[in-house]
């Protein structure tokens, strides 16, 4: 079947101006994924909180035109709860990813510019955190700082910086051998002056791509520890809370309570994955001109 489809498409002469190159395809995918995320944030603002209030006369309704995701055992509209939960996950993911990337940037700069002792200490910290399961470390940190949104953000930020730190360190070590860096060093410029003026501009692509690619991990881990009861408060419309509450109602046939929030979370994660991968291709000099 796939061979037949490929033969048919190969025989269709599509004008060259209608065939997007890799750069155009990348921009299209980034734009579409960004529109999905912006639409969710706007919808969470527009939708009224009245739809997630208790309405016992509307409880346990299946998906319909008036309630696309159905209602739960308290008569709350699941579509509104899902959208607001996704918006909350995006908010937490953005803050946690930004803090994590900032930590990776600072530690990567320090490891590559402040001598062997600092490099060895930071490398040891990277190995330590990478040797510990993310979810276990995240739960311990979130529980230690008191849980809630603050605990989730701190836990995610302190467990997702290791891989990007390695990338930034390797990039800086390569830049240290560049001719213009050597000239600045011979002219008496300090390590931090060279790091800020010569190395930091080259790290912007890694910074942006790392931020976008860290985001799916952040929101998935936020949903995971909230599902286990160590994250956000049960009173918030978080995706982890929704999935945790829906588990005890699946055996009664209320499948929509977990299905639609779970699929929506996967769509958000996949959207950020698409943005990150395509942004990496767009910034990569080997692929940018294709």
More confident residue, 89 or 7: 89
* 290 Cβ neighbours under 8 A, 6+ residues apart: 21, 22, 23
| Closest C-alpha among 113, 108, 114 to residue 161 | 108
pLDDT-derived band of residue 17, with 50, 70 and 90 as boundaries? Answer: very low
pLDDT-derived band of residue 20, with 50, 70 and 90 as boundaries? Answer: low
pLDDT tens for residues 227-279? Answer: 887 777 777 778 888 888 888 888 888 888 888 888 888 888 887 777 777 77
Q: According to the model, what pLDDT value does residue 287 have?
A: 53
CATH topology of domain 76-283: MetI-like fold (1.10.3720)
Q: According to the model, what pLDDT value does residue 249 have?
A: 83
More confident residue, 284 or 47: 47
Can you tell me whether residue 77 is helix, strand or coil? Answer: strand
Can you tell me whether residue 27 is helix, strand or coil? Answer: helix
pLDDT tens for residues 104-134? Answer: 888 887 887 777 888 888 888 888 888 877 7
Q: According to the model, what pLDDT value does residue 5 have?
A: 44
* 272 Cβ neighbours under 8 A, 6+ residues apart: 33, 37, 212, 213, 215, 216
* Distance, CA of 33 to CA of 41 (rounded, Å): 13
More confident residue, 161 or 285: 161
Domain boundaries, the chain: 76-283
User: CB of 143 within 8 A of CB of 151?
Assistant: yes
Q: According to the model, what pLDDT value does residue 21 have?
A: 61
pLDDT-derived band of residue 183, with 50, 70 and 90 as boundaries? Answer: confident
Computed over every residue of the chain, the mean pLDDT equals 79
* Distance, CA of 126 to CA of 170 (rounded, Å): 13
The answer on pLDDT for 12 being more than 70 is no
pLDDT-derived band of residue 3, with 50, 70 and 90 as boundaries? Answer: very low
Q: According to the model, what pLDDT value does residue 269 have?
A: 83
């Amino acid at each position: 079947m796939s061979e037949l489809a490929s033969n048919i498409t190969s025989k269709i002469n599509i004008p060259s101006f209608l065939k997007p190159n890799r750069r155009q395809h990348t921009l299209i995918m980034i734009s579409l994924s960004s529109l999905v995320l912006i639409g969710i944030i706007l919808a969470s603002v527009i939708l009224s909180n009245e739809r997630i209030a208790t309405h016992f006369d509307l409880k346990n309704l299946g998906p319909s035109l008036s309630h696309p995701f159905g209602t739960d055992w308290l008569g709350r509209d699941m579509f509104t709860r899902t959208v607001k939960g996704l918006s909350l996950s995006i908010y937490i993911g953005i803050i946690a990813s930004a803090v994590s990337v900032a930590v990776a940037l600072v530690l990567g700069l320090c490891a590559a510019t402040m001598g062997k002792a600092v490099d060895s200490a930071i490398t040891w910290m990277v190995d330590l955190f990478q040797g510990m399961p993310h979810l276990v470390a995240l739960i311990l940190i979130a529980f230690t700082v008191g849980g809630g949104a603050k605990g989730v953000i701190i836990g995610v930020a302190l467990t997702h910086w290791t891989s990007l730190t390695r990338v930034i360190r390797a990039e800086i070590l390569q830049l240290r051998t560049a001719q213009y860096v050597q000239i600045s060093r011979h002219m008496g410029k300090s390590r931090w002056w060279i790091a800020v003026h010569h190395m930091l501009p080259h790290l912007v692509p890694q910074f942006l791509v790392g931020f976008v690619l860290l985001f799916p991990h952040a929101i998935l881990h936020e949903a995971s520890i909230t599902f286990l009861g160590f994250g956000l408060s049960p009173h918030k419309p978080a995706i982890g809370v929704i999935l945790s509450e829906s588990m005890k109602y699946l055996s009664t046939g209320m499948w929509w309570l977990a299905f639609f929030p779970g699929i929506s979370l996967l769509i958000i994660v996949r959207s950020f994955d698409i943005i990150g991968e395509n942004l990496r291709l767009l910034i990569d000099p080997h692929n940018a001109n294709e």
